[in-house]
Chains A and B, each alone.
Chain A
Amino acid sequence: DTGVSQNPRHKITKRGQNVTFRCDPISEHNRLYWYRQTLGQGPEFLTYFQNEAQLEKSRLLSDRFSAERPKGSFSTLEIQRTEQGDSAMYLCASSPPAGTYNEQFFGPGTRLTVL
């Protein structure tokens, strides 16, 4: 499968614990996005990478959230001191380098449940 992959697919954690998710984009895509989606809502933008540079981060994102893309390939999203309100589907998407804006290819998501 050459699409976007995300691991784990499901994560259950207790409030206060730290969690880390991984996203592997399509290999030739240099643009990578993280979103959060709750039931009945559209994807909510969290952060954007172009190659290894994090060029945009949502103001809605608290300091508990951090993302990295150290070699411009896979990316990780870490949530520290999780809260019940963090329960959501975390989606990763990647996009090819050509042009300014292009189709985003989404991964299957990581569903986080904070107890």
Chain B
Amino acid sequence: GENVEQHPSTLSVQEGDSAVIKCTYSDSASNYFPWYKQELGKRPQLIIDIRSNVGEKKDQRIAVTLNKTAKHFSLHITETQPEDSAVYFCAAPIGFKTIFGAGTRLFVKA
């Protein structure tokens, strides 16, 4: 089937802790894996992406890892801050479609 499964649906962490969100995709041909952040009432915005020719990518406190064999990829946020609180979506392409996960609502407690 065409789906992207995302876990957990809700994640609550203390400020300064790390947060990890995991996604599994179904199409082995998928080769681009973005992560979007959506704050309440706002549009989704890309925070990081990875292509299938690399296994990890970092951008300051954010990193994404990819395991093509297992067909899963993860978002890692270190040293979380209250402004990281939002809904995070993973996505994967299937042909011309982009399939999004159901989202993870991250709460960072000060």
Chain B residues near A (Cβ < 8 Å): 6, 31-32, 34, 42-46, 49, 51, 89, 91, 93, 95-103
One of A42, A45, A102 near B97 (C-beta < 8 A): A45
Evaluate contact between A43 and B89: CB separation under 8 angstroms. yes
Residues of A within 8 A of B96 (CB): 48, 50, 55-56
Interchain Cβ contacts within 8 Å, total number: 51
Dominant secondary structure at the A interface: loop
Chain A residues near B (Cβ < 8 Å): 33, 35, 40-45, 48, 50, 55-56, 58, 91, 100-104, 106-109
Q: In the assembly, what is the distance between CA of A45 and CA of B45, in Å?
A: 16
Evaluate contact between A101 and B100: CB separation under 8 angstroms. no
Evaluate contact between B103 and A106: CB separation under 8 angstroms. no
Residues of A within 8 A of B31 (CB): 100-101
Evaluate contact between B89 and A42: CB separation under 8 angstroms. yes
Evaluate contact between A104 and B46: CB separation under 8 angstroms. yes
Pairs A-B, 6 closest by C-beta atoms = A42-B100, A101-B32, A56-B96, A106-B43, A103-B46, A48-B96
Residues of B within 8 A of A108 (CB): 42-43
